[in-house]
Structure 1
Amino acid sequence: MTRIFNSSKFLQPTDGEPIRSVVTESKDAVVVAWYIKPGQEIAPHIHPHGQDTWTILSGKGKYYLDQAGTTKPIFAGDVVVAHNGCVHGVFNHDDEPLVFISVVSPADAGYELVAIETMSLDTSP
């Protein structure tokens, strides 16, 4: 069984919705590579039965924190954790791609979109 993966081989830039590219999956976790172009977003959502941990490899974005639309800047080198049921998502407001690895655990954590009440993006750097 393969245990070492080159994440760059899984990145799939697209002009439409960002592509959820599964690197590996087991009952314990799903590892996904994300390539978010400038102006693209992963819509705010929750995993009702698990955690989503992102490791930001390059770029930056505005990370959704709650249903009110509050965001916080995230940058290359950050590890961002959305615990069970926490709203999260990201908007790439920069002119460079945002690239990160997501680990959802357990694999059957579920996925539910969340309607944002207001779209007031944090303007801090």
Structure 2
Amino acid sequence: MGRTRIFSSSKFFQPSDGEPVRSIVTESKDAVVVAWYIKPGQAIPAHTHPNGQDTWTVLSGKGDYYLDKAGTTKSIAAGDVVVAHTGCVHGVFNNGDEPLVFISVVSPADAGYQLVSLEDSFALHPSLIIQSTGL
């Protein structure tokens, strides 16, 4: 019959009072599809995928999306599709009143992951001081 091709994303969102939970919807050598549920005040730390691309489809909520090591951000919101090309700094801080919910597709699956230290991250979002920086 083959592999499952249709998934209900709502079954994968995992709210957490700690750091956001990376919930894998499906994966192959070509891509990893991940469901994210980021509560207000939570963040996905700035990082890169040195060998691949990360594309987000924002389903609900809003946040400050990291664009570079200087901590420059741009607002993202429901309906946006956000692309971090190979090696581009990205991450997000939920600055809204509701959860930021999105689907991420990292391609290829072995795109790698490297945390990035933002020069102004604590000045931008003091609440990050008390959060873990690992995923």
Query: How does the TM-score come out when normalised to structure 2?
Result: 0.88
The residue type equivalent to 2:95 in the other structure is H
SS in 2 for 1:8: helix
| Unpaired stretches in structure 2, ≥5 consecutive residues | 125-135
Note the aligned Cα RMSD (angstroms): 0.7
Q: Give the structure with the larger helix fraction.
A: 2
Q: CA deviation at 1:55?
A: 0.1
Query: Are 1:81 and 2:74 matched, yes or no?
Result: no
| Unpaired stretches in structure 1, ≥5 consecutive residues | none
Query: Are 1:114 and 2:120 matched, yes or no?
Result: no
Q: CA deviation at 1:118?
A: 1.3
* Aligned counterpart in structure 1 of residue 59 of structure 2, from 52, 57, 60: 57
Instruction: Tell me the alpha carbon deviations over residues 53-87 of structure 1, each in whole angstroms, 9 at most, x when there is no partner.
Output: 00000000000000000000001000000000000
Distance 1:90 1:8 in 2: 21
Counterpart in the other structure of 1:90: 92
Instruction: Tell me the alpha carbon deviations over residues 3-58 of structure 1, each in whole angstroms, 9 at most, x when there is no partner.
Output: 00000000000000100000000000000000000000000000000000000000
Matches within 5 A, 1:1-80: 1-80=3-82
SS in 2 for 1:90: strand
Query: How does the TM-score come out when normalised to structure 1?
Result: 0.95
SS in 2 for 1:11: coil
